[in-house]
Structure 1
Amino acid sequence: MTAWPRPPFWQWEGHLQTIGAALWARRTVPTGQSRPVAPLWQRERWDTPDGDFVDVDTIVPPNARALVVLFHGLEGSSASHYAQAFAAEAQRRGWAMAVPHFRGCSGEPNRAPRAYHSGDHAEVDWMLMRVAQRWPAWPRVAVGVSLGGNALLRWLQEAGSHAAVTVAAAAAISAPLDLMAAGAAIDRGLNRVLYARMFLRTMRRKAREKWAQYPGLFDLQRVLAARTLRAFDDAFTAPLHGFAGVDDYWRRASSKPHLRAIRVPTLVLNARNDPFVPATSLPVAGEVGDWVQLWQPERGGHVGFAQAATRWDWRGEVGALPRRVLPWLARAAGWADGATMDA
């Protein structure tokens, strides 16, 4: 991997690189324009196999040549900074993009007595099969970010060589590969104040809405009393999705133990200063198979990776992330040979 971009001058450590990219970095600057332009998503609603729905936001440029499917992170959406950055770069390359929202993440409560979780490979499976049915003519790659990255890796592991029928290559960015380590990290110290509290605010609200739909489905008082992600997952996420408890959920949903099972070219990108994902929990080369490439730059934070355009550019822009990941996917998929897919 080439040297990673230099962040804005004040982003000297992982928390600042995480927060700066999410809140202030420029997200979308298509070629030929000087000011950011938000993606113009088109929304489709898809029925799920269990009688529920998911909303899928898409951008399809004229004469699109390929499709990127992006799975968002915890409480993320197509409005997340990384989704907008990938959409801008995909459009520049003439690729279409689709963001299937996990249950309850598109701005409207889902109907079924379930939500979403970090190891939901069955959900990723039917979503990608539906993508292939919806756009059969386009070659496809998949990107998963944070929680969505771990879920994508779990699908790749479960699907094995069959995954190549659906996607030609994949990338997981800032994925919590070891959920025990990541869960412990986010629930302590400054992480608990900065991030866990933010996530729990919307997650508890959604849990209250789910309980109103299905009274008695879980212990609402335990959920509302949760002050850590561990407590929330033990009271809500685990019981709703068939796990015995939080330890069972985090153990079975972690992708790190199964990286050798992947049979599709896959990039696993984690910054070593990610506040959520301890560097000590990251895999080393001997723990992955030939199909997996590890990128572990020293800086980047959690889905940060902002790049300063000049020495005094305090905001930076997050397009550096897709500008590195999408060419890797194109080459891994074989699109760069002969065709002009790798723009």
Structure 2
Amino acid sequence: MNLPSGKDFRPSWPLTSGHIQTMLSSSGVRRMLLPKAAREVLEGAETVVVDAGDGVRLSGAFTAQKVHAQPRGLAVLFHGWEGSVDSTYVLQTGSRLLREGWDIFRLNFRDHGDSHSMNEALFHSCRIDEVVHALGDIAQRWPARPMALAGFSLGGNFALRAAMQTSRAGIPLSYVLAVCPIIDPAEGLFSLEKAAPWFYQAYFMHKWRQSLRAKQAAFPQHVYFEMSELKQNLRGLTEALVLRHTDFGSLQSYLDGYSVAGDIMQAMQIPATILTARDDPVIPVAAFEKLQLPPNVELDIAEHGGHCGFIRGRNMTSFTDDYIAARFNALLPAQEG
């Protein structure tokens, strides 16, 4: 079976710019221009709460396919940092897989989407145990198989880490695909500070501060931050919240806690694919080139695509939809693929 690869993505100018790809990927313009089919996953979606262990609850949305008598499988989608189940790229990918006959589950991480009031403790990127537990609950409640997982950016990092634990946790995950995942958080933070244009950090900080204010409003009796901390830059605010709300003794220790760099993914026991772009201005490609991967993990580096962009043209659809659908469908028996 010939599967699409990163080299097949050949956008025309000006979409050969990683910055344009990145800016368009989450823009309101893109959301407005997307065809109606990119929002099909919203039709008939059931809002649900899943058990994430130790009293933690996470929100999500389930959409049952209507193409076949039986679903081809269960596709679980993870959004990026300060995204949600309703992020454009999640809706677009979910809608495509829905048309392919997959049941779709879109999961919100803690404090993402409208979920700030669900759990008192603050989100941070090392909360992998609750995501793995949530995957176990999802697998039990929606039994279509195979079960495949795709994540974007920080969601791709969570997806890779979760996939390395599913065998131990008895979760029947068959495959994981990460689009532009965070590999080395320390290197990514440095890149946003020193190498990426200022507006990327400004964009993320604006969304993060909004989220933190929503958290504070949901639990007014709890002091999550001082106003002076909220005014700091990305590094300063991250360090302040790590020291205030986690058991990590330093910022570096926290960043190492969700790294998948070096040989960490040697622990991956299921097939996995990592798709990224050489012109991603948010996550340096060098982090991917230094990975030491087992044979079951495919690394695919496209020349263009920016950060989670891969936008083809004026209709704002993404190459990643075909890419993910093809690899998910490849999990099916030959007569069903």
Partner of 2:317: 317
Q: Does 1:177 align with 2:183?
A: yes
**Farther off after superposition, 232-241 or 263-272:** 232-241
Partner of 2:157: 150
Equivalences for residues 1-343 of structure 1 within 5 A? 1=5, 3-23=7-27, 24-25=29-30, 26-28=33-35, 30=37, 39-40=42-43, 41-62=45-66, 63=69, 64-159=71-166, 161-162=167-168, 165-188=171-194, 190-191=196-197, 193-211=198-216, 213=219, 217-228=223-234, 230-237=235-242, 239-257=244-262, 258-284=264-290, 287-308=292-313, 314-318=314-318, 320-331=319-330, 333=331, 335=332, 337-340=333-336, 342=337
Shift of 1:13: 1.5
Question: Do 1:146 and 1:174's aligned partners in 2 also have CA atoms closer than 8 Å?
Answer: yes
Q: Distance in 1 between matches of 2:279 and 2:221?
A: 42
Question: Do 1:21 and 1:317's aligned partners in 2 also have CA atoms closer than 8 Å?
Answer: no
Shift of 1:176: 1.1
Q: Distance in 2 between matches of 1:106 and 1:216?
A: 20
What is the number of equivalent residue pairs in this alignment? 324
Question: Do 1:222 and 1:235's aligned partners in 2 also have CA atoms closer than 8 Å?
Answer: no
Shift of 1:189: 5.5
Q: Cα RMSD between the aligned structures? A: 2.5
Q: Distance in 2 between matches of 1:170 and 1:163?
A: 16
Question: Do 2:153 and 2:308's aligned partners in 1 also have CA atoms closer than 8 Å?
Answer: yes
Question: Do 2:6 and 2:300's aligned partners in 1 also have CA atoms closer than 8 Å?
Answer: no
Shift of 1:28: 4.9
Identity of aligned residues (%): 24
Q: Distance in 2 between matches of 1:27 and 1:290?
A: 37
Structure 2, gaps ≥5 residues long? none
Shift of 1:22: 2.5
Q: Distance in 2 between matches of 1:238 and 1:84?
A: 35
Q: Distance in 2 between matches of 1:27 and 1:79?
A: 14
Q: Distance in 1 between matches of 2:22 and 2:327?
A: 23
Distance 1:267 1:239, change over 3 A: farther
Shift of 1:37: 5.5
Shift of 1:170: 0.5
User: Residue 14 of structure 1 aligns to which amino acid in structure 2?
Assistant: G
Shift of 1:103: 1.2
**Farther off after superposition, 106-115 or 170-179:** 106-115
Question: Do 1:70 and 1:99's aligned partners in 2 also have CA atoms closer than 8 Å?
Answer: yes
TM-score by length of 1: 0.85
Offset from partner CA, 1:225-267 (integer Å, 9 cap, x none) = 2222x22221124642432232111112111230111011000
SS at match of 1:144: strand
Q: Distance in 2 between matches of 1:38 and 1:218?
A: 35
Structure 1, gaps ≥5 residues long? 309-313
Partner of 1:311: none
Question: Do 2:39 and 2:95's aligned partners in 1 also have CA atoms closer than 8 Å?
Answer: no
Offset from partner CA, 1:161-191 (integer Å, 9 cap, x none) = 4467421000111111011111111123653
Shift of 1:74: 0.4
Distance 1:290 1:214, change over 3 A: farther
Shift of 1:330: 3.1
Distance 1:56 1:38, change over 3 A: closer
TM-score by length of 2: 0.87
User: Residue 317 of structure 2 aligns to which amino acid in structure 1?
Assistant: E
